[in-house]
Amino acid sequence: MRLVIALWHKWLALIVGIQLLIWLGTGLYFNSLMDSAANITTRQAVQHEAYLPGIDLFPLNQLQAPAPIAAKVIWVLGNPYYALYYNQPSHNYFKQERLLFDARSGKSWQITPALVSRIASLAYSGDASAQQPRLLSPPIEDLPRQQNPLWQVNFNDDLHTSVYLDALTGHVVKYTNDNQRFDDLMFTLHFMDYTGTGSFNHWLIIAFATMTAILSLSGGYLLLKRSVITKSSKTGSHHTLQVSSTSSPEIMTLTTPPDTSIFNALARQAIHLPSECGGGGTCGKCILRCSPDAPVSEAERFHLSSDQLKAGYRLGCQQLAGDNKTISLL
Amino acid sequence: MIKTARTSHKWLMRFTGLQFILWALTGLYMVCMDIHFIHGESLTRAEAQTLPLSDIRFSLAELLQVYPDASNIELVTLLNQPVYRFRSASGQRRIHLISARSGLPQSEITANQASTIATAAYTGNGELVSVNPLISRDARGQLRPLWVVTFSDAASSTLYIEQQSGRIIRHRHNYWYLFDWMWRLHIMDYDDGENVANPLLLILSVAGLFAALSGALLLILRLTAHSVRSTS
């Protein structure tokens, strides 16, 4: 059981390992390095609203438009407009169905590039010049969740500030710059959003999160199991072990706490048994020869044949020093 | 080398392992549950009653004569009639409802009206259980009286209706509360879940990063040990 879990633990770690380090690294970034409030310092509120009474308004009930769900009086640079809504998306970045009318003339209206330029400049407090507005259709690279077309106005500053404005009204929807783009990249990495969905509910991250859950639970299981095997003695009583070797005629005497594994007791004497797992009972490499009546662990039964067990072959990491009097290194 | 990697992986994981399990399990819940479902967006229907513009018999110009300081003016269907909904600066930005048919001011939403609004919008299959008043504060810190309408479905779906406007301003169900707790456990901020930059998370993230790196080292050593052996 433990060996199967250890095997799973190893292979799952191989699959999710790099992403796990990315999660920890980006998580640490969100925790202590990210300061999203300070990302964009050239942001500036634009005053659109003006005083409505006194303006000769076109009657709403005479608009040439299909019946909407809702209507709003909105402002663009001091001028009133009627916005008619034909859907109610729960987020503004969802597809919006709207019509816009000049509230004075009742005529259909849409922002012009020249006005977009003006609003973008008013919305930007830096000194850099602005480029021409461009009307972008989704997908928009900086804003992966956005499903509506937006105007993009880029500023020639060091941080490559971009202001995104509503395609119909010219209201500022979003600012971004290289600081913000770096934070966005960290989120992309944390959410594994490598296909640019703008979301963390996708199959890739669900698959990795499932594997990581199994990885961490299997790790917890192994930690509990191994704590039992390798706990070190605090009693101070000592056990003497005779160590012989097939490659040399000398016999060494080793004094060690009885509940230390032979693997660890030998390692303390700078005798390193072959091992890939470092004494975890999973690789089966630290074979040595004990007395044939030495206890047999689950790991030994897995890695050694019954003939080997009968002949006294055991794993150094599975044998407690106290259970053995003489051992022989191969 | 491999022994050091093993020992540090073991000891660092003794310290951070439980949080690793919590990160993995809470993360798994959060990525599996569609965030729009968690927000309760599916609790109310997306389609809404249309508003025939010819129904407007009380014009905007007439409204402005009575409320010259009206701002954020919108026209919506509320309880089967078109109403103007707006804020007035003189009324401490309170929200007004004026019938677009008669021009008469509408009183604040009653408990009965709130249950009508909630039941009409609700998409689930539960029955209405209770309508209770609640005073909360809006983003500007102003007092905002609400009606809390609860349904009898398995997720205890609850809609919060603003008394001044009749708007459904909050959707809650058990999955949301569970998500909220998953989030708190994930970022290790147990009081309100608002502070990602907390020192506890910093300590565990740094220790966790070392724990994972020692594990990565262990993995590399084990895998390369394999390849050395198989080529020799």
Last residue of a domain, one of B135, B151, B172: B172
CA distance A44 to chain B (A): 20
Instruction: Tell whether B34 lies on the interface with A, counting CB pairs under 8 A.
Output: yes
pLDDT above 90: residue A299:
no
Co-location of B20 and B71 in the same domain = no
DSSP A141: T
CA distance B54 to chain A (A): 5
pLDDT at A197: 86
Amino acid at position B205, single letter: S
- Average pLDDT, stretch A167-186? 96
- Quote the CA–CA distance of A62 and B53 in Å, as a whole number: 8
What does the pLDDT look like over B188-202, one tens digit per residue? 999 888 899 999 999
Would the CB atoms of B219 and A72 count as touching at under 8 Å? no
pLDDT at A229: 54
Tell me which of A137-141, B10-14, B141-145 is least confident. Answer: B141-145
- Quote the CA–CA distance of B27 and A191 in Å, as a whole number: 10
Instruction: Catalogue all structural domains in chain A, each as residue range(s) with its CATH number.
Output: 1-39+178-230 (no CATH), 42-176 (no CATH), 239-329 (3.10.20.30)
Residue B58 confidence class, pLDDT cut points 50, 70, 90 = very high
Amino acid at position A54, single letter: G
Tokens of A205: 């991250």
* DSSP letters spanning B67-133: -TTEEEEEEEEETTEEEEEEEETTTTTEEEEEETTT-PBPPPPPHHHHHHHHHHHB-SSPPEEEEEE
Co-location of B137 and B183 in the same domain = no
The CA-atom distances, in angstroms, between A111 and each of A18, A133, A254, B76 are: 47, 12, 88, 25
Last residue of a domain, one of B148, B172, B196: B172
Co-location of B167 and B183 in the same domain = no
Q: Evaluate whether B6 touches A208 at the Cβ level (below 8 Å).
A: no
Co-location of B55 and B10 in the same domain = no
Would the CB atoms of A88 and B206 count as touching at under 8 Å? no
Co-location of B95 and B138 in the same domain = yes
Co-location of B28 and B47 in the same domain = no
The CA-atom distances, in angstroms, between A299 and each of A68, A240, A314 are: 72, 25, 10
Residue B228 confidence class, pLDDT cut points 50, 70, 90 = very low
pLDDT above 90: residue B227:
no
Selection from B101, B121, B225, B128 nearest residue B166 by Cα: B121
Instruction: Tell whether A70 lies on the interface with B, counting CB pairs under 8 A.
Output: yes
- Quote the CA–CA distance of B58 and B65 in Å, as a whole number: 11
pLDDT at A111: 96
Amino acid at position A223, single letter: L
Domain count for chain B, please give it. Answer: 2
- A61 by DSSP, 3-state: which? helix
How many helical (H) and strand (E) elements, i.e. helices and strands, does chain A have?
7, 12
- In chain B, which among 201-230 make CB contacts under 8 A with chain A? 201-202, 205-206, 208-209, 212-213, 215-216, 218-219, 221-223, 225-226
Domain containing residue B147 = 41-172
What does the pLDDT look like over A6-54, one tens digit per residue? 889 989 999 999 999 999 999 999 999 998 889 999 999 999 999 888 8
pLDDT above 80: residue B26:
yes
CA distance B220 to chain A (A): 9
* DSSP letters spanning B174-202: HHHHHHHHHHHHHHT--SSS--SS-HHHH
Co-location of B30 and B45 in the same domain = no
- Quote the CA–CA distance of A299 and A304 in Å, as a whole number: 8
Q: Evaluate whether A59 touches B100 at the Cβ level (below 8 Å).
A: no
Verify cis geometry, omega within 30 degrees of 0, for the bond prior to A139: yes
Q: Evaluate whether B38 touches B179 at the Cβ level (below 8 Å).
A: yes
pLDDT at A86: 95
What does the pLDDT look like over B71-87, one tens digit per residue? 999 999 999 999 999 99
- A208 by DSSP, 3-state: which? helix
Tell me what percent of the residues of chain B surpass a pLDDT of 90. Answer: 75
With CA atoms as reference, the chain A residue closest to B21 would be A216
Residue A234 confidence class, pLDDT cut points 50, 70, 90 = very low
Any domain includes B232: no
Would the CB atoms of B73 and A72 count as touching at under 8 Å? yes
Co-location of B75 and B20 in the same domain = no
Selection from A281, A274, A311 nearest residue A298 by Cα: A281
pLDDT at A261: 87
Residues of A in contact with B165 (CB under 8 A): none
Would the CB atoms of A217 and B68 count as touching at under 8 Å? no
Would the CB atoms of A216 and B20 count as touching at under 8 Å? yes
Would the CB atoms of A31 and B197 count as touching at under 8 Å? yes
With CA atoms as reference, the chain B residue closest to A56 would be B61
What does the pLDDT look like over A190-214, one tens digit per residue? 999 998 888 999 999 999 999 999 9
pLDDT at A209: 96
- In chain A, which among 102-141 make CB contacts under 8 A with chain B? none
pLDDT at A235: 52
Residues of B in contact with A278 (CB under 8 A): 2-3, 5-7, 218, 221
DSSP A130: B
Any domain includes B20: yes
Co-location of B72 and B139 in the same domain = yes
Selection from B202, B180, B207 nearest residue B191 by Cα: B180
Q: Evaluate whether B177 touches B171 at the Cβ level (below 8 Å).
A: no
Residue A252 confidence class, pLDDT cut points 50, 70, 90 = confident
DSSP A172: E
pLDDT at B109: 95
Co-location of B189 and B139 in the same domain = no
Q: Complex ipTM, two decimals?
A: 0.88
pLDDT above 70: residue A231:
no
Return mean pLDDT, chain B.
90
Residue A125 confidence class, pLDDT cut points 50, 70, 90 = very high
Co-location of B123 and B143 in the same domain = yes
The strand pairing partners of B77, in sequence order, are B82
pLDDT above 60: residue A76:
yes
A28 phi/psi in degrees, rounded to 5: -65, -40
Last residue of a domain, one of B172, B198, B216: B172
Any domain includes B155: yes
What does the pLDDT look like over B154-164, one tens digit per residue? 999 999 999 99
- Average pLDDT, stretch B206-214? 94
pLDDT at A227: 61
pLDDT at A218: 94
Co-location of B144 and B101 in the same domain = yes
Strand intervals (E) in A281-325: 287-289, 313-315
